[in-house]
Amino acid sequence: MVRHILEVIGCKRPVPLRLAAALGWLKRTRFKCLFVMTLLCLGLRENYPFSNFPMYSSFNSRTSLVYLTDAQGTPFSTMGFDLLNSTLNKIFYGWRRAELKKTAGSSTARVALAEHTAGEALLRYIDRHASVHPQIRNLLHGLRVQHLTIRLEAHELVLQTQTLATHE
């Protein structure tokens, strides 16, 4: 394949008609970069520097997020942990997805277990994060991972919070 492409570009050897036509067109078009970048981004998806840019590509009537509080439930600024809340959530949901694949059972029980495990894993991540950010070590005791659910019900936003994990 690669040899064929090189030969077509160099016009040194006849190649299969369709491939030759496609590459010939690509060589002639002024928009080759647009075409190639579009294909690479859609094909390689989330592989830096490529991306299919899936942010807000679909919407649901329900969503959720996690945030950090102290033992009394007072929220911490995530930036105080040298993290963004969106990063914290992406890490949490990455683990949640992995846990959901591992566990079996009824849907509600599986989700609850996966969220609890992902919450604990997030606390361990923050523990390790503290090893390169000493300023956050004194915030760890009693640190809680809270889960906020947002639902759209009859044109109204409904919120619900629960604690997923607490740092010892």
Partner 1 sequence: MSAIKRMREYALYERVVMRILFAWLVLTATPARLSFYEIPAPNGIARLLNLHFLLDPQVYAFCRMLLVVALVLYVLRLMIWLALPLALFVNVAANAVTNSQGAIQHAYQIVSLVLLAQTAAHFYGVWLRRAGEARTLLEDQLIWWSQQTIVAVYFVAGITKLIVTKGLWIFQARMISVSMAKAAYQSFYDRLDRADLEQMLAMANFAATHGWIVVLIAGCGLALELGSPLALLNRGMAALFGCALFAFHLGLDHTMRLSFIFNQWLLIIYMINIPYWIVTGARAMDRNKGSNRLEMSA
Q: Counting every residue, how long is the chain?
A: 168
The total of other beta-carbon atoms located within 10 Å of residue 30's CB is: 6
Q: For tokens 């520097």, what's the residue?
A: 49
Closest to 10 measured CA to CA, from 30, 18, 31, 20? 20
Pair of tokens at residue 162? 């629960």
Q: Using CB under 8 A, count the residues that bind partner 1.
A: 63
Query: Least separation, in Å, of the C-beta of 115 and partner 1?
Result: 16
Among the listed ranges 12-20, 21-29, 106-114, 135-143, the one in contact with partner 1 (CB under 8 A) is: 21-29
Counting contacts by CB under 8 A, is residue 102 touching partner 1?
no
Among the listed ranges 16-24, 101-109, 131-139, the one in contact with partner 1 (CB under 8 A) is: 131-139
Contact residue for partner 1 among 116, 127, 150, 166 (CB under 8 A)? 150
Counting contacts by CB under 8 A, is residue 133 touching partner 1?
yes
Strand partners, 152: 157
∠ CA 64-93-112, rounded to 5°: 70
Residues near partner 1, by CB under 8 A: 10, 27-34, 37-38, 41-42, 46-65, 67-68, 75-79, 82, 84-91, 94-95, 125, 128, 131-133, 148, 150-152, 155-157
